[in-house]
Structure 1
Amino acid sequence: MNRNQTALKPREWMPRTTAAFCAGALAAGMLAVWPQTAEAADSIGKTTAARTKEEIVEKWMQSYLPMKRSFAYMSGNDIYEQLPSLTAPFQEGKLQAEYIEDGVRATNFVRYLAGVPDDVQPDWSLHRQQQSASLINALNDRLSHSPTKPAGMEEEAYKLGYAGAGSSNLYMGSPTLYSSVLGYMSDSDPSNIDRVGHRRWILNPAMTRTMFGYVRAAETSGYGSPYSSMYVFDKGRAAGSVEYDYIGWPAAGYFPSEAFSPSDAWSVSLNTDRYDKNNTDSITVTVTRQSDGRQWTLDKSDTDKSGEYFRVDKGGYGGIPVCIIFRPGGISDIKEDDRFHVRIDGIRSKAGAETSIEYDTVFFRMTEMKRFGSDAIAITPGESVPLRLYSTGEGAVAGRMAGQLESSDPSIASVDSSGVLRGVKAGAAYIRYSNYLGQENSLYVTVRPAAPGDAPSGWAKEAYAKAKGAGLIPYSLDTQYQTPIRRIDFVRMLVGVYENTTGSSLPADRKPFQDTSDSNVSKAVSAGLISGVSPTEFAPLAKITRQEAAALLTRLESKLASVAGKPPGSAAPTGPFADDEAIASWAKADVYRSVGLGLMQGVGQNRFNPMGNLTVEQSIQIFQRTFERFVRD
């Protein structure tokens, strides 16, 4: 992890320190009523495997939503009932109860996903202790479970914070308590993957109580990093009251991909009342991805903490002394309904018999996530553009939580709930689409006055507005609409149409031309969409001819049809143009096909003008037509 987002695990088990603080006043009238649920005997795996997507989404929405969309809601001082003081004699401060309850909701959410009892309550008697732990780390501006005493701090306050730091998960840089819990559950950076201790403490079956602290360090360069703490050493549940064979993360059955990154390690903690905790050297894990049959076999030889990894940890984190940790290598993305079969061999029962564990995990998205068609857009004051937002490919789940559009500065650029972007005054702002789990996509908006006379022609305005909102017009091309378009700019638009239509990015791994290294040219070459004027030259600054454009468009249409699983479009019969002889033999079929498909038109008087140039606005209209063949409103 980088410095702005770091987590540490607690020291070895130590007795809980009770703060010299009466929590009654804090809790009165503010204590949330948390769901009281516990899994039946030996049912954790069966329970999670039996859940539906809809059931998980409904449970999350009813019981465990964060306070707000995005994770920016703890950035101000209004989160405190009493502000912390970072100057001697120091004050730990007091968080508003609703923010602590937000962290508890996150705790119970991940416990619910894992199948352990999701009934953890806030222990208000520990509020001063946890605030003091966060305060000491913020004053020292570093994470430590054994922090040094800040100069000028009273001994009693230091001892209280020291006890909290040693019995807690600690985080630096996470913006909210909810997000810090999700960060603890990842636990897969090189300094934590060998034991995933944060995760195991949170999933401790015996836990019934927790508490959080949150203090921002002194600002440097306008920013003070938040330091949070989460008390995890609770063992309030009676021993043996939760019956289980193992606790997996991610769990068996449907599992939300928002809670698990492709680079996260998997873990299976074994109940040592049922499994041998000593004879673990022969354990291996086989993971099979159903979509393509790819298989990973992991064992103790896999030691790359930044890649493919395996380890059996016996550190006892979370009260469970044996945890099998494994990470298949080379998984860059988790798709909707990706199913992974896990088989763990070499385990021995308490009686010594060799046995195995098998289960399936199927990933899905709980939240709707959409993206913009481009990274940046330019508009003029008073201009309105209907933005097209693209699905990121999730399947339909009834009740999935929708995201939200908002502007970073509505006085410059505003956006309504339907996605209509409006320029207000000159300046710059971000339009963000965010969901409840801190995930967001953004569009950089520049509002600038239009140069006199610099506007699309009347006949092109409708296609221009649609193409602009769909992200098909590169930022640099949104000007001088009547000028001829260059080959490189035509290709940039072509790639934008392909990627926004298919929802996937093209690789940019081929660079055959000596006169350009533009990534869009590389993408188009890799996809077989373009060729150069010679094997080593592309002529990026040359004006594209109409017959060259026709060839590229028909190639694009065929590629898009293939990706969509459809045959190439049926072109209407088209009679010969009067200037048919001027059309190059290599382009003739493409010219008539592009016209028959309605992608291009003649220039009048039954002429095509194959060597003529296309203007920027003509190209915009052509690409909008191509886009609409495959993407409908």
Structure 2
Amino acid sequence: MKRIQLPKKLLSALCAAALLVGAMPGALAAESTQQVSIQQQSIATNAGVFTYIDAQGGLWSWGDSLTGGVGNGTTSSTTGTPEKILDNVVFVSSGLNNNGAAIQSDGSLWVWGDTSLDMDYANQAWAPVRLEGVKVLLPDGTVSQPTEEPERTELRHSGSTTLEKLSKEEIVQLLNQASSTLPNPVLTEEPSIHAPYATGAVDHQALEAAAQRLNVLRRLAGVPQVQLDDSLSENAQYGAVLLAHLGSLNHTPSKPSDMDNSFYQKAYEATSTSNIAAGMDLLESVDMFMQDSDASNVARVGHRRWQLNPELGRVGFGYAQNLDSIYRDFVTEKVTDTSGSGCDYDFIGWPASGNFPNYLDSFDANTAWSVVLNPDDYQVPTQSGLVVTLVRQSDGKTWTLDGKDSYTPAASGRYLNVETSGVGNCIIFRPDGVTKYEGVYQVTIDGLKDRSGKAVDFTYQVDFFSQPDNASKPSDWAAASVQEAIQLGVVPFELQTGYTQTATRQEICALVVRFYETVTGSPVQGRVSFSDTKDEDVEKAAYLGIVNGVGDGSFHPNDPLTREQAAVMLTRLAQSMSKHLPAAEANFTDRAEISPWALEATGAIQGCGVMNGVGGGRFAPSLSYSREQCITTLMRLYHYISK
């Protein structure tokens, strides 16, 4: 549906009509924060048009549509089958002039058909359009205010506004530098989990490794770092011993009969103010607390929210074992401190906006997403007023989670909840049917309002990437060019691996677009779309004229790249940068095998020394082209046009 601004004369008349509608018995309206749910005017007929509202609020229409009176977007003479033209409708009325009006549950007024004042058919709306600024008068004297649509803004970013977003390379380096192992043994002094109780001692390196792991995850989320505090760890150790004694988890455990009161009070203080875990070591527990998506925790993701609290400044860890328990390991994490400096932020997201690794133990296909809003910037959200939409950009797959629907907490599947207790006002959601997150996902949350009550446009993106294959190295002949290209910044992170494998049509687009934008310093603004891919690099390369489709509006992004295709794309890349390669004849023994559309480019690219043959005087136009060949010839082109 579209929104229009009508002429003042017509708008005034329609406002008057809306007031008359509101004065009719059973007319409904509501303040913007109230949803109208009663359907007292659910059927309307007039001038050959029939409309009715179904039980779900869908408005159906059929009949004479000569001037758009049916509202289905056409002006055919008749529409014999009912068609849905609007959702969330609570009131409908048909006019004598082959037109109609409807009120939605948010109090907004929509009209269609001939909306002219003198029946001269000068103003026609073939589908429902929303009237701006119209209020509906209720019989009790109250007036509805249609829900304001938010002003569209740029993509939002999670985390501190003063922390730079990390590149994929920086994230990989951050994760690789963090300790992934604990000292052996973890305990330098064995605790006693039976009377007489004793805390024992955890190797300080193990405690530091746990704090480092937490700081790595906090850096990914864009919140300030925390400090390991020995006094908090000392208290946490009491709690770990008590949990190990019980062999189970309990934030408020009862006092064992053989435990002295002093030990118990310290242990109770720890368990009641800590994240607690069983069945995993210190490092694993930090990731598990961030995962937080099992049936008993997904409604709150409270452990995660404590770990990502911007005001958290000091942490402590405790660890003990009970070899007779099925869980064996017990961990306490003191995370309720608020001595940190905090930060200015719009929201705290997990996964965070921007680049995000898809190989973390703390985030997998069944992990719930969370958005913690800055309470200084947003009103407290209500679940019934929210709609969360996720779009996977690679194929356009869309998930819509409506807050008015019901959701059952579970370890997987569709889910939506709003949790306002504890740390921050949190929106928790999860799509279904995802096996692994790859590429860009866009999240839009409708229904949020700022502190003044104004509707907010809230959209952000997460770009998931896989762990690089460190064993993959370019061939010796290509190593220098690949390294130079990476340093120049023209090789996307995803292509810094698997150098010998065949490149795809999409991958060459990623390379040439990065090359163009890096060398020229100008981002590509335009796009040309295809029916079988929404990849941004493909659309940019097509806009630059570097690539074309294969017919029927498709591109075949995953098809292997051939040598003659590479020759054409490299030549067009130079042209897009106003660097025209000199014409030359393709001098190969298999010249007749080169496609006519690639013959000129092959000659030019050979003439300037960017691409050569495969031996024996042959070009082998249909042979596949590898990633390292793409990168190497790209750098040859770079040096040629830089002369």
TM-score between both structures, scaled by the size of structure 2 = 0.48
Q: Which has the larger radius of gyration?
A: 2
Q: Which has the bigger relative contact order, CA under 8 A and spacing at least 6?
A: 1
